[in-house]
Amino acid sequence: MLAMKPTGWDVVVVDDDRDVGLVLTALLTQAGYTTKHVASAREALTLIERTLPRVVITDLRMPDMDGMSLLAELRVRAPEIVVVMLTAHGNIETAVRAMKAGAADFLTKPFDREAVLFTLEKVLASAGHRAQLPPEPPRIDAPSLGGSDGMRRCDALVERAAKSTANVLIRGESGVGKEVVAREIHRRSRRASGPMVTVHCAALPDNLLESELFGYAKGAFTGATNNKPGRVDLAEGGTLFLDEIGDVTPAVQVKLLRLLQDKELQPLGATRSHSVDVRIVAATHRDLEAAVAEGRFREDFFYRLNVIPIWIPPLRERTSDIPALATALLAASARSAGRQPLRFADAALARLAAHDWPGNVRELCNIVERLVVFTDEDVIEEQATAEELARSQPPQSRRSVSLVGRRSDAERDAVSEALRRSNGNRTQAARLLGVSRRTLYNRLSELGLDDSVAS
């Protein structure tokens, strides 16, 4: 991976067709972007050795190295660069392949000024949002999600969800691994051979999010010279993962509700809707019940999403998972850095297990990545681990307390107490709690409590 350098260009256009390169460069320069055209993928890779652009727009078919190969190289060398695929052969299959490989979007030839600028605005808005987030942990190949009681329950729910076609709502604090669980549901499902398409709902404002999800029809706005499928269409036959669904505004919720109810969508500017075959998995760290009560989240939309609820416990509640998880992350980080296999000393693993992990798995990933960078030895000792843990703490241990976590703890205690007082009778326990029996059943599952007691 390249070290960050000052960005010299907003956009680099990579196309062996000189006329296309000149037209795009002139168009973008006129719109206020600093833009450079190079005629080959090799030239593009040489350029980014010196300076990193914000966006690379690359043709799919080129003689020296095709656009997919360039995309793969950029994912390794400079993953912060946003890549947009440009092709005269654009279709849904090409788009799915490119986006699964890491492309942010695609443009088809012939293109128009407004379509290009619309796409560029969208991908830059999304990239700007992602830049504010901590990096995602490396993907870990593992037969299960964890060996702790909480993660075994989660894994069992994942297995059941994978066999179903019902909508899934994954909940938990930031950084617990909600996208990992979504990928597991897709991987184990009958749709595993189809695409899994992710939409980070908090990344884009409403007008761009609607286009991103549903696509647009030719003539939908000035410069929309071609029909363009949205992410829902790209997920045809597979899974659509709606991350941070709690940040979606009521206006977009209405449009998504129709998709959930009727399995139909209407692209922006289209006069007709069409059916789609997608499985919806959503995730959020927000308190959706409170959002419903405050009118910020539609109740009907919530119940449509929450058919199969899966709660992921925070890392501090499953410390027995930490040694295996840290070891797997260490192996993945060492491979990514091009290093020989590393290992933790037993005392270092014990030190990691004793930490409270307010940032959950994402924080653990950051610690492990820093240890790989700053440790020269093949064995990571306790002292190095303790130093990195101390370095990662805010001044004077200023840490936020998760309201979602505290609320779940309080609910878990109340439900456990009601079951104890009613000797496990769920009907009586629901009466003590002031909720319906159905609500109690749902909360037993969501809170990860043993609901095998007598009814």
Beta carbons within 10 angstroms of residue 189's beta carbon: 21
Q: Is the pLDDT of residue 247 over 80?
A: yes
Sign of the CA dihedral 137, 139, 140, 145? positive
CATH code of the domain made up of 149-311? 3.40.50.300
CATH topology of domain 315-397: Helicase, Ruva Protein; domain 3 (1.10.8)
- pLDDT the model gives residue 8: 63
Query: Domains of the chain: which residue ranges?
Result: 11-131, 149-311, 315-397, 403-446
Residue 126: pLDDT over 50? yes
CATH architecture, range 403-446: Orthogonal Bundle (1.10)
- For residue 344, CA distances in Å to 126, 315, 336, 337, 381 come to 36, 19, 17, 17, 6
Q: How far apart are CA 289 and CA 298, in angstroms?
A: 10
Q: Classify strands 279-284 and 239-243 as parallel, antiparallel or unpaired.
A: parallel
Decide if pLDDT at 455 tops 50.
no
Q: Give the residue ranges of DSSP H helices in 52-205.
A: 67-77, 92-100, 113-131, 149-163, 178-188
- Residue 66 predicted with pLDDT over 60: yes
In angstroms, rounded to a whole number, what is the distance separating the alpha carbons of residues 210 and 201?
10
Predicted local confidence at residue 3, as pLDDT: 46
Domain 11-131 has what CATH class?
alpha beta
Summarize pLDDT for 438-452 with one digit per residue, the tens. 677 667 766 666 444
More confident residue, 379 or 212: 379
Average pLDDT of the chain, as a whole number = 82
Pick from 83, 92, 10, 19: which is nearest to 267 by CA? 92
Handedness of CA 52, 54, 11, 228 (dihedral sign): positive
Sorting pLDDT into bands at 50, 70 and 90, what band is 134?
very low
- Are the folds of 11-131 and 315-397 the same? no
Q: Which residue has the higher pLDDT, 230 or 173?
A: 173
Q: pLDDT per residue over 145-171, tens digit each? A: 778 999 999 999 999 999 999 999 999
Distance CA 85, CA 5 (A): 24
